[in-house]
Chain A
Amino acid sequence: MVTKQDSDLLAKVIKFLFWPMAILVMFFLLVPVYIMVKVSLSAPQDILTQHPPFLIHNFTWNHWLKVLKSGNLWLPFQKSFVVATITTVIAIMVAAPAAYVISRMPKKVRYTVILSLFFTRMFPEVGIALPIAVNFIKLNLLDTYTGLILAHLVKVLPFIAWILVGTFETIPEDLEQAAMVDGASRWTALTKVVFPISLSGIAVAAIFTWLESWNEFTYALYLTLSQRSLPLQTYYYVLRGDWFQSAAYSTILTIPVALVTFLLQRYLKSGYLSGAIKG
């Protein structure tokens, strides 16, 4: 049992350590990003040395110019962009109607379904990617957009369905019923009332889905021989030990993710977090 004096001590310790801790945490959070940007903007003599300085001594845009001019950026960028976009569109089309149905199920059934969506996360990605890769070799789907889209759907569908169930749950059933009394069929009630109202929720879910696909690494690794996506291109430069290229590519990869995270931070509720802002 803790006595009153001890408790005061604890309160004092907390008060004393609060700001040092806060500042330390903020420092740790910021440093890696700073270093990434710094490497991409520093001249080689700042980096390729036994004792690299912590500040940028010799500033240069050269790495960026090289990345942009080399012509190696465009194809991976295009692949990642197109795959992410198509994946998102298909994911919404498949998951939104299903999520709506789930959101209108009786509570117990709904809970079970949501839980089983969650269970798909327990399967190791390497275990799912392996047979998919083996089969895609036979189907000639390696290195294709189609193959990667199909694989990314595996990753994003449970996530987006989960999020959208939450979105639809907030729309009162009375609204659809009002529409049906007003003369709408079930389908019209959905397209004219439910989906328009949930549009902003669907849009936010879509954006996060897009990021999931944009960053995706594991499936891409299994399904790619030469047509690299942006994350794989970054990894390629890491393997080659090219710091400047990998830093620049990393920054490009990060920009949309960072933008969305900060602009849509109010949506970063439990659902999204547990759905994996893992990126």
Chain B
Amino acid sequence: MSEVVFKNVCKNYGQVTVIHDLNLTIRDGEFLVLVGPSGCGKSTILRMIAGLEKITAGELYIGDRLVNDLPPKDRDIAMVFQNYALYPHMNVYENMAFGLKLRRFPGEEIDRRVKEAASILRIEHLLKRKPKELSGGQRQRVAIGRSIVRKPQVFLMDEPLSNLDAKLRVEMRAEISKLHNRLQTTVVYVTHDQTEAMTMGERIAVIKDGSIQQVDTPLNIYNHPANMFVAGFIGSPAMNFLPCRVERIDDEFYLDAQAFKIQVPKAKTEKLEAYTGREVVFGFRPEDIHSEPVLSETHANSSFTGVVDVVELLGAEMIVHLSTGTHSIIAKLDVRTRLKRGDKLQLTFDMNKIHLFDKENEVAIL
């Protein structure tokens, strides 16, 4: 069993509270990603698991052990640091063997494990080198190797890919995922990059200002964000938000955004009753707007007209910045029509994928 459980954990630095009442269970063998903007406390959470930060209040369990006051060395965890933190005075082999030596493993066992890890990571030919003779990607592998030789209960990774160039980052992303499939050990992975979180995590915990906003699978987080922060943070380009008013005409519900008015499908109306006549925030992802002319004719009550401001071509698709009334909207469209600044465009919402948020507390209504 190597669950990691936070029970009502708080962390203060002097007067400043950086983690508020954290409750989180990281399941055995799971790949959990902690994601959030910089300064949100995600690294602090990771370092609390490692034992590098003391917990101010609450309880933290690894497996069945309460580890609040346990020093890092006794927690049976391994960590990959953002800047790798390889020991510059040791060669690759010694770097990987260091933790095992400190734990007084027999020499052959150390040798076997280091060689095994080196072959998994394809760094056997580098074992004699010093860290300064390695490239960024190689250092990254050594840092991972150093943690896997230990066969710990939990791997902790603190933005391990942020120092790599874009291409290498994509490669290593896949490699770390593969490694996790192979080892089936619990991984807690910190990143500020939502793409990394989406592609690597089995579950994602989105964090803001020291509290968890939502914990779920990537798909659920994407499709059913719990609040405006999660909705805006996950996904690129970010979700569009427009203020609008809920109107009820007979049994039909409409969203009035002044520039346009659209009808909410029957299936989604049930929670809207309470918001009748009130302001809400209407959210929709750029890819959930479509420009096919046919659609605007068949779905007249979910269409609007926008004026093109900027077009960014990405190859297979394009990002179009539009304005409608006083609102700015970003849409991701197929590259079919040639668009230029000032063009008028008929657009249709995919009404099954719209989101509504309470204006006061920003929580999702639907």
Task: Name A residues whose Cβ lies closer than 8 Å to a Cβ of B.
Answer: 172, 174-175, 177-186, 188, 192-193, 196-197, 199
Number of interface residues of B (CB under 8 A): 24
Q: How far is the CA of A177 from the CA of B81 in the complex (A)?
A: 9
Q: Give the residues in chain A near B102, CB-CB below 8 Å.
A: 182-184, 188, 192
- Give the Cβ gap from A253 to chain B, nearest Cβ, in Å: 36
Chain B residues with CB below 8 A from A179, complex form: 87, 98
Complex CA distance for A192 and B94, rounded to whole angstroms: 12
Asked whether B235 is an interface residue with its Cβ less than 8 Å from the other chain, the reply is no
Contacts of A197 in B (CB 8 A): 87-89
Chain A residues, Cβ within 8 Å of B150: 182-183
CB pair A181–B78 under 8 Å, yes or no, is yes
Q: Which residues of B contact A193 (CB under 8 A)?
A: 87, 89
> 5 shortest A-B CB distances, which residue pairs?
A182-B99, A174-B85, A178-B85, A183-B102, A180-B72
- Given A177-B52, A177-B81, A180-B52, the answer on whether A185 and B73 have CB atoms closer than 8 Å is yes
> Are A175 and B73 in contact (CB-based, < 8 A)?
no
Interface residues of B in 133-174 (CB under 8 A from A): 146, 150, 156
A144 to chain B, nearest CB (A): 39
A183 touches B81 (CB 8 A): no
Complex interface: chain B residues within 8 A of A186 (CB): 71
CB-CB < 8 A to B77: which residues of A? 181
Pick the contact of B98: A172, A174, A182, A185 (CB < 8 A): A182
15 more contacts with CB within 8 A, not counting A181-B52, A185-B71, are: A174-B83, A178-B85, A178-B86, A178-B87, A180-B51, A180-B52, A181-B51, A181-B156, A182-B78, A182-B98, A183-B99, A184-B102, A188-B102, A193-B89, A197-B89
A181 near B73: Cβ-Cβ < 8 Å: yes
B199 to chain A, nearest CB (A): 26
B52 / chain A contacts, CB cutoff of 8 Å: 177, 180-181
Task: Give CA–CA (A197, B89) in the complex, Å.
Answer: 6
Which parts of B36-93 form the interface with A (CB within 8 Å)? 50-52, 71-73, 77-79, 81-83, 85-89
Can you list 11 contacts pairing A with B, beta carbon distance less than 8 Å? A174-B83, A174-B85, A177-B85, A181-B52, A181-B72, A181-B73, A181-B77, A183-B73, A193-B89, A197-B87, A197-B89
Q: Please, how many angstroms separate the alpha-carbon atoms of A43 and B78 in the complex?
A: 74
Contact of B50 among A181, A183, A185 (CB under 8 A): A181
Give B74's nearest chain A residue, CB to CB: A183
Are A175 and B87 also in contact (CB < 8 A) when A181-B77, A183-B99 are?
Answer: yes
Q: Are A172 and B85 in contact (CB under 8 A)?
A: yes
Chain A residues within 8 Å of B51, by CB: 180-181
Shortest CB distance A107–B (Å): 14
Find chain A residues with CB under 8 A from B85 CB. Answer: 172, 174-175, 177-178
Name B residues whose Cβ lies closer than 8 Å to a Cβ of A. 50-52, 71-73, 77-79, 81-83, 85-89, 98-99, 102-103, 146, 150, 156
Using CB atoms, name the residue of chain B closest to A198: B89
Q: Which of B72, B78, B81 contacts A174 (CB 8 A)?
A: B81
B155 to chain A, nearest CB (A): 11
Question: Could you tell me if B83 and A180 are in contact, using CB atoms closer than 8 angstroms?
Answer: no
Distance between A119 CB and nearest chain B CB, rounded to angstroms: 27
- Which B residues lie within 8 Å of A183 (CB)? 73, 99, 102-103, 150
Closest CB of chain A to B71's CB: distance in Å? 7
Minimal beta-carbon separation of A105 from chain B (angstroms): 15
Highest count of chain B CB atoms <10 Å: which of A174, A179, A183 = A183
In the complex, A193→B156 CA distance in Å? 21
> CA A133 – CA B81 in complex, angstroms?
54
Bound-complex Cα distance A185 to B99 (A): 11
Q: How far is the CB of A173 from chain B (nearest CB, A)?
A: 9
How far apart are the CA atoms of A182 and B89 in the complex, in Å? 16
Contact of A182 among B71, B83, B146 (CB under 8 A): B146
* Bound CA–CA A111/B277 (angstroms): 60
- Inter-chain contact A177/B72, CB cutoff 8 Å: yes
Q: Please determine whether A180 and B71 come into contact, CB atoms closer than 8 angstroms.
A: yes
A185 to B52, CA, bound (A): 12
Q: How far is the CA of A247 from the CA of B239 in the complex (A)?
A: 83
Chain A residue at minimum C-beta to C-beta distance from B52 = A177
What is the bound-complex CA distance between A180 and B87, given in angstroms? 12
Closest to B96 in A: A182
Q: In the complex the two chains form, what is the Cα distance from A178 to B73 in whole Å?
A: 10
A178-B71 contact in complex given A183-B99, A193-B87, C-beta closer than 8 Å:
no
Contacts of A185 in B (CB 8 A): 71, 73
Distance, CA A182 to CA B102, complexed state (A): 8
Question: How distant is the Cα of A186 from the Cα of B71 in the complex, in angstroms?
Answer: 9
Minimum Cβ distance to chain B for residue A175 (Å): 5
Expressed in whole angstroms, the Cα–Cα distance for A36 and B114 within the complex equals 62
Best-surrounded residue of B83, B86, B102 (most CB of chain A within 10 A): B102
Complex Cα–Cα for A164 and B43 (A): 30
- Residues in A neighbouring B72, C-beta threshold 8 A: 177, 180-181
Minimal beta-carbon separation of A166 from chain B (angstroms):
18
User: Chain B's nearest CB lies how many Å from the CB of A170?
Assistant: 11
Q: Which residue from chain A places its CB closest to the CB of B146 in the assembled complex?
A: A182
Q: How far is the CA of A196 from the CA of B51 in the complex (A)?
A: 24
B73 and A184 contacting across the interface, CB-CB below 8 Å: yes
Query: Looking at A172, A177, A196, which has the most chain B CB atoms within 10 Å of its CB?
Result: A177
Residues of A within 8 A of B50 (CB): 177, 181
In the complex, chain A residues whose CB is within 8 Å of the CB of B81: 174, 177-178
How far is A25 from B37 in the complex, measured between Cα atoms in Å?
A: 57
Please report the C-alpha to C-alpha distance between residue A127 and residue B73 in the assembled complex, in whole angstroms.
Answer: 49
Cα–Cα, bound, A180→B51 (Å)? 9
Minimum Cβ distance to chain B for residue A151 (Å): 36
Give the shortest distance, in Å, between A177 (CB) and chain B (any CB).
5
* Separation of A174 and B52 alpha carbons in the complex (Å): 10
How far apart are the CA atoms of A70 and B72 in the complex, in Å?
64
